[in-house]
Chain A
Amino acid sequence: MRNYRPILLFATLLLAGCAKNELPLFDEPFVYLETSTGSDNAVVGADMKAVVTYYIGISCAAFTDPIDVSFSITCGAGIQEGVDYEAVTNGTSVSFLPGIWRMPVRIRWLDHPIDETKDNTVTIALTGTNPGTFTLGYPGPAARGSKLVITKKNL
């Protein structure tokens, strides 16, 4: 029952390019996007007709005031909102109340064939936080998780 998020998530990921075999500690607050299995990218079938949940997560010390995270949903030239997908989550921000470490962002995928030669991606990107003390994506130059790229394919 308990929220699986620790009060402070010290993620210990071995960064690519790290010269030493040391596990860096992420002790700065950050916010990230991921799929339900923790990936920052995904593929969906062009004929899918379903709602898929993606997640915005935060990593920081325990807090008492809500933390707002804003995001955008954009698509490539081969994709049209309303034709290929619809945003189910209303608005472009989510509010984290004390005790909540992950919030859903949902997209309904619509059955519509795509032109494989075009950019058929839908990108959910983090655009800011309030308070603004959060890093967008995992700390590090790659900023992994600052955006989530979903590619629609004719499977």
Chain B
Amino acid sequence: MQKNRLMFLAAALAGVAALSVSCKEPEPEVVVNPPSLTAFSFKAADNAVLSEDYVATVNGKSIDVALPDVDKSALVATFTVAEGNIVKVNGTVQVSGKTANDFSSGATYVVSDANDANPVSYAVNVTLAPDKHPALLSFSFDVDKNAETLSKTLVGEINGTEIGVAVPQVADISALVATFTTGAGNKVTVNGVEQVSGVTVNDFTNPVDYLITNLDGSVNAMFSVTLNRQKGAWTAGPAYAAVPVHAGARILVNPADDVPYVAFKRHQPTEADARDPEKDEKMYAMKLVDGAWVSLGEAFSEKVGSDYDFSISPSGTPFIAYRNSAISPSVTTVMKYAGGAWSNVGDNVGTAATTKIHLHAIADDKVVVCQIMSNKTYVGVWDGASWTTGGIPALTGDPRPYEIRMAGDGANAYMFSINRAKALDGVNYGHNVMKFNGNEWSGLRQNYLREGATQTSIVGYDIAVAPDGTVYLVTGDNAEDNEKYHHRVEKYNADGTWSQVGSTIDYVLSSRCYSKIAVAPDGTPFVVYPNEGADPKTIEVVYFDSDTKQWSAPVSLQGSGTPYTGDPSLSFVFDSKGKGYVTWVEGSALVLYTFE
């Protein structure tokens, strides 16, 4: 009986167990994918050194990819493998789009199945991709490769596909060895002759065209190298930022000590807490002595309005004229620096608000102020004791002026002015050059518009007087190029005629082109202008080459890498020895470049 019970119990348990087993889910079959890598790429998003994605070709166990000439020591690959596959490089598990590896000499990706078994090696072969933008990356004439010709290395300035190299006036350029760099894999040729950097000799008498061809010949580029004879070189001088400088700072050389002087209006900062109500918008003056700016007065004027100018008499007395915004109407106040202090010169000049204020001091500290008042040209002449004011009788028709500039020498003051549109006889922005000889005015040119031009440009004009007394004028017009305005320099001859200096300057005027002209002691005219069309924007200088009778190639004062963003009201002057000074305002600091 007991035995039967036990058998019954065993049978019942077996039945329950059997029933239990029959109710369970069947165990899933574990699928182990064989190792397989099907896609491989380098994405720009994962690799800062790449500018675009590069997709490899996977061919069997070979992964081939062409990359540009970049640092390959830490590239992140994106890859696709079969589900569950384990990928390792040198034993390190790889995460697609995450893990960096050194591909300088390629790499081996080992792909295993989910059990980390059955490894398959894929060889990543990295080759050089053809340069999509072949270029000359640097260009120079190194002194050690041209020891018989050059005394120093000449570095080319690359601007687009044009390379300019400033060379000394006397250098023999018929056989020079260039040192250059280009992208990896590129071939460089000149007239079909392959060039070797630092080895190949070329004649640079005429511009030389360098053809850059990439690895597979699919893209080419031509870089033209032009050597520009230069009389000297521009270098950055000491900037001034002790106080904020407002636009329109002017530099002049004092004839008495041949030292550059600068007068400027202190800029009022935008931030209220940075302002100084006692000093903001008032005049400052200083001079450059042994490379340092020395003050000649701080905030010595009343509040200065929109216009001011600066002049130094032949005897060395500095004068300023400014729109006095502390009074109403805002007429012109003239001050002079004598005995270590600034003081007003007589009464104010004008009976109504004045604008476009300019002045020039001639012999005996006689001062001529030209400005616009009540839509007319209004002049004041200080004879040492009082002002004589009024219009210019010799200015025919007394047209409504748009803008005024002044220049002069010890004996004469000259006023250049542009009339308003069709202000006289229907002439569109005609311009005038008037001369004051200390006693009376005469016209050298009046209401003039170049034949074929739509108008005289209302930007890009200036007047200067050479040390020999010759008057130079730079203006802009579209007489020869209907769509664009170009600079034209003219000079006034002893026989009473005007003649053009060379062709128009190879530059298209922009809306902020406040150019300046200065004449070196040897009679060479220079023009400085902001090249707003360049990328990056630069301040450029050209001069008239008396040998070629052509304007020189422009020289960028800041070099090719420093953009110009500041005040376009340049100032330009030479001292008696031929050292040139250019200033402008960049971020409320006075920037100085010198030429010698």
Contacts and interface: CB of A to CB of B under 8 A. Distances in A.
A106 B222 CA distance: 15
B504 interface: yes
A49 B550 CA distance: 7
A106 B507 CA distance: 18
B550 A50 contact: yes
Contacts of B484: 37-39
A108 to B, nearest CB: 8
Interface stretch (A20-28, A72-80, A96-104, A117-125): A96-104
A64 B549 contact: no
Interface stretch (B133-141, B144-152, B271-279): B133-141
A93 interface: no
A48 B548 contact: yes
Contacts of A47: 549
A106 B207 contact: yes
Interface string B193-210: 000000000000011010
B507 to A, nearest CB: 7
Given A37-B486, A98-B218, A111-B549, A48 B160 contact: no
A3 B221 contact: yes
A1 B224 contact: no
B126 to A, nearest CB: 24
Contacts of A64: 218
A100 B222 contact: yes
Contacts of B548: 48-50
B84 interface: no
Interface residues on chain B, size class: 35 or more
A148 to B, nearest CB: 12
Interface residues on chain A, size class: 20 to 34
A29 B209 CA distance: 25
B508 A53 contact: no
Interface stretch (B167-175, B348-356, B494-502, B567-575): B494-502
A84 to B, nearest CB: 13
Given A99-B221, A100-B220, A103-B222, A45 B503 contact: yes
Given A37-B507, A99-B219, A100-B221, A48 B549 contact: yes
Interface in A35-74: 35-39, 41-45, 47-53, 64
Contacts of B214: 99
Contacts of B364: none
B480 A41 contact: yes
Nearest to B502: A45
Contact of A98 (B220, B506, B549): B220
A11 interface: no
Interface in A121-151: none
Given A38-B484, A39-B480, A64-B218, A49 B503 contact: no
Interface of B: 133-135, 137, 158, 160-161, 206-207, 209, 211, 213-214, 217-222, 224, 226, 480-481, 483-484, 486, 499-504, 506-508, 545, 547-550
18 contacts: A3-B161, A35-B506, A37-B508, A39-B480, A39-B483, A42-B480, A43-B503, A48-B503, A49-B549, A50-B545, A50-B550, A53-B207, A97-B211, A99-B219, A103-B222, A104-B207, A108-B206, A155-B503
